[in-house]
Amino acid sequence: MHTRVIAWFDTHARDLPWRRPEAGPWGVMVSEFMLQQTPVNRVLPVYEQWLARWPRPADLAKEAPGEAVRAWGRLGYPRRALRLHGAAVAITERHGGDVPTKHAQLLALPGIGEYTAAAVASFAYGQRHAVLDTNVRRVFARAVTGVRYPPNATTAAERKLARMLLPEEERTAAQWAAASMELGALVCTAKNEDCGACPIAAQCAWRLAGKPEHQGPPRRGQTYAGTDRQVRGKLLAVLREAVAPVPQAVLDAVWEEPVQRARALDGLVADGLVEPIEGGLYRLPVG
């Protein structure tokens, strides 16, 4: 599978800014934070603005964390902005402003889990790590396990399979990580998969079994309208646009239902995304 998928990637990979040499390890790390649960087309403009403003971790570390939240815009899940800011501060303080090269050092940074550490080590430094995102998990589930979808949460069996499939040679392993991810993003998609364009269709266990329907637990759908997430987004939008602290009355105007609105605001404060200050005013975090 390695040779075919990597050859396909060499021909069909998208030209994305974080894949270019000039992106560097910091550009790769920023992209990985932004791409979690967010499609590429929404990430691209924010990513480019972010790197133009903060081309190195130290540039971001100098700013208040609220500026990271402001620049995050409408990407969603804004706690990622705070985590990225925290990682930039740690990189500046612990590693002289350079994204560390070792997986263990990456994993020790605040806000970085196993996936992000493996992805940065692989994509930025060409190291041999199993990189398991949703797209890769789907490719492996279909091609090897013979099921339509992977489990809702990553399992030990999936991690074992990913390690088993990892090429021994470091450079090839890094190419495999990127190529299998791109295959899931462009061809082996969650819906309307294009088996005719797949380089490993002839050996795909799921296709050879006749593409059996999903038999596991119901797949989680993502809802947004009317949720606390939507209310949080509306509250943050007001604060991002404000040049001064915002009165409670202005925030009250964004959502009619007072209990849900208060719960959403309390959640933002608890998550460190909003700071209450004297006089019933609110702002993005400054320290």
Catalytic annotation, residues: 32
Please spell the DSSP secondary structure of 18-78, one letter per residue.
GGSGGGHHHHHHHHHHHHTTS-HHHHHHHHHHHHHH-SSHHHHHTS-HHHHHHHHTTSS-T
Per-residue exposure over 227-244, b if at least 16 CB sit within 10 Å of its own CB, e if not: eebebbbebbeebbebee
Residue 158 corresponds to which tokens in the numbers above? 């999936």
Per-residue exposure over 28-38, b if at least 16 CB sit within 10 Å of its own CB, e if not: bbbbbbbbbeb
Nearest Cα to Cα of residue 138 among 183, 174, 179: 183
276's enclosing H/E stretch is strand 275-277
Residue 270 corresponds to which tokens in the numbers above? 């608890």
Neighbours of 280 (CB within 10 A): 12
- The residue behind tokens 């190419």 is 175
Q: Are 151 and 158 in contact (CB under 8 A)?
A: yes
Nearest Cα to Cα of residue 99 among 128, 137, 132, 61: 61
Q: CA angle 95-80-93, nearest 5°?
A: 15
Please state, in angstroms and rounded to a whole number, the distance separating the CA atoms of residues 82 and 279: 25
